[in-house]
Structure 1
Amino acid sequence: MRVNSMKDHIVFYKETQQGPYPGMGGSTEVFKSWAEIYEPSTKDFQIGSLETSKVNITVIIRNAYPEFVPNVNNTFVVETGMYQGIKFNIKSVSPKDANTIKVVGTQWE
């Protein structure tokens, strides 16, 4: 289990659209979790079609199914560590093993 390496705190948000124009919506907090954060691998860059000009990270969280399953319509903010305060779009979600989920994100514009 990767619990000992989950040292950063992240918050997941659901982006809501409340008007006819982009950016008129808001964010609703849906889940908080401890996470392990590291740089994406070459495979993560290929799967998520990540841009090298932006900040990209891979996050490992505990599997909280059915309470919460992240999807590409969500965003997350890292609240601790080197990426503190940066908002990320989710590019891909995949199971890491029976107890964890891998989330790849790129910096929100």
Structure 2
Amino acid sequence: MKVYVDSQGALVNIGDWDTCIGLDENGDMVETNPIPDGVREIDAEVSYTSAGRAFLSENYYDLRRCEYPSIGDQLDALFQAGVFPAEMAAKLQAVKDRYPKPD
């Protein structure tokens, strides 16, 4: 599939670039919506997250990052599962006790 990526490899456009020909203030024909500097056309596969965000299929890091629970949720799950060392669990519990979750 034809896609356009920026200099960092981030997806900018999927499919043909929508350039148009218009008239400037003098009535001369000019290209509107030109491809920005640093953006290039490549052939690549595109994947979509469950939220509908598009990424290059090869960019598994961004695909995973959008789908993972937040770091806080991951750490809380580990705390609840009892996998932290006792000293760390005590520190976390002290914070939870100081700021209890509202009912």
| TM-score normalised by structure 2 residue count | 0.22
Point out the structure with the larger strand share.
1
Structure number with greater CO (CA < 8 Å, separation at least 6) is: 1
Point out the structure with the larger helix share.
2
| TM-score normalised by structure 1 residue count | 0.21
Query: Larger radius of gyration, structure 1 or 2?
Result: 2
